[in-house]
Amino acid sequence: MPGMAAILRLAALALLLAFLLTPQSFAPLFAPLTQYGAPPIYDQGNLLTLALAHLGTVCCAAAASTLVAVGLGILVTRPSGAQFLPLSRTLVNIGQTFPPVAVLAVTVPLVGFGEKPTLIALFAYGLLPIFENTIVGLQTCPAAVLEAASGMGMSARQRLLSVELPLALPLILEGIRLSLVINVGTATIGSTVAAKGLGEVIIAGLLSNNNAFILQGGLVTGLMAILLYDALAGLERRICRTAHLD
């Protein structure tokens, strides 16, 4: 089974790269989907550039939300910030009921069209899973371990950096993975507000009634999301394994 999964993964990656680098070689495959001689391959921009812009937006937003969410998570699990913990928990729960599209839509009028509303919406929406997992990770550190750390004479800061955070790392990484994968999808909607990304391809297809464009945009985004999910899950396993070996 693991061999099979690895082959599938490599095949998906190869397919994605081949399509992004030489889209025209796939033209015969998509041609049956078009009507009245419409172009079978997206021709209003470079697919590779769009994919990279898409990934860039998602990663920028994810980096910002990771910094803020982990910081806040650490803050509310310290004794000085404990007062904010119940409220932040509730807020995370409420926040998760907000559809990402609504967040995006409400941001547009505030900051205008383009990359900015997408970045803000992705940032805000990406905060939640990371924040929640950071809190759970930090709170479920076994009390015995924490006491042992204090007993060894570690300061609160040392304990946080070399005991609590490493123990919480798997969960934090899982949060980052969830938020990245959600954001790859949400970023496509960003194209409705003129952000550069793969959504452009899908929307061009919807507007010109060209199924080939829709399928291309959808497949590339979907493949990217799946590969990203997979790669991060692998990275997580690897980090956890090294952490346990040490």
Partner 1 sequence: MALTVPRLRRLDPLGALLAVAGATAVMFLPFVIFKSNRVVPGDPRGLLEVLPAWAAFACQASLLLAATAALGVSNARVRLGAALLGVTVVALAVAAAGDALTPAGNKVVRVAPGAGVWVLLVCLGLLATDAITRMRPGPGRRVLFLAVFTAAAGLALAHGTFDHLSVMREYAVNADRFAREARQHLWLALGSLAAAVVVALPIGILCHRVPRLRAGVLGTLNVIQTIPSIALFGILMAPLGALAGAVPLAAALGIRGIGAAPAAVALFLYSLLPIAANTVAGLKRVPRAAVEAARGMGMTNWQVLTGVELLLALPVILTGIRIVLVQNIGMVTVAALIGGGGLGTFVFQGIGQTAIDLVLLGAIPIVALAFSAAVVLDALVEVMDRARQ
Residues that bind partner 1 (CB under 8 A): 1, 33, 83-84, 86-87, 89-91, 93-94, 96-102, 105-106, 108-109, 113, 181, 184-186, 188-189, 192-193, 199, 202-203, 205-206, 211, 214-215, 217-219, 221-222, 225-226, 229
Phi then psi dihedrals of residue 97, to 5 deg: -85, -10
Minimum CB distance to partner 1, residue 29 (Å): 13
Contacts of 53 (CB under 8 A, 6+ apart): 196, 197
Minimum CB distance to partner 1, residue 223 (Å): 9
Contact 131, 69 (CB under 8 A): yes
Dist CA 162 CA 159 (whole Å): 6
Minimum CB distance to partner 1, residue 225 (Å): 5
H-only helix segments in 78-164: 85-95, 100-111, 115-139, 143-151, 156-159
Minimum CB distance to partner 1, residue 70 (Å): 21
Contact 126, 207 (CB under 8 A): no
Q: Which lies closer to partner 1 via its Cβ, residue 166 or residue 222?
A: 222
Q: Which lies closer to partner 1 via its Cβ, residue 39 or residue 218?
A: 218
Phi then psi dihedrals of residue 144, to 5 deg: -60, -40
Q: Which lies closer to partner 1 via its Cβ, residue 70 or residue 76?
A: 76
Minimum CB distance to partner 1, residue 106 (Å): 6
Q: Which lies closer to partner 1 via its Cβ, residue 95 or residue 170?
A: 95
Q: Which lies closer to partner 1 via its Cβ, residue 3 or residue 109?
A: 109
Around 23, how many Cα atoms within 13 Å sit in the side-chain half-sphere? 23
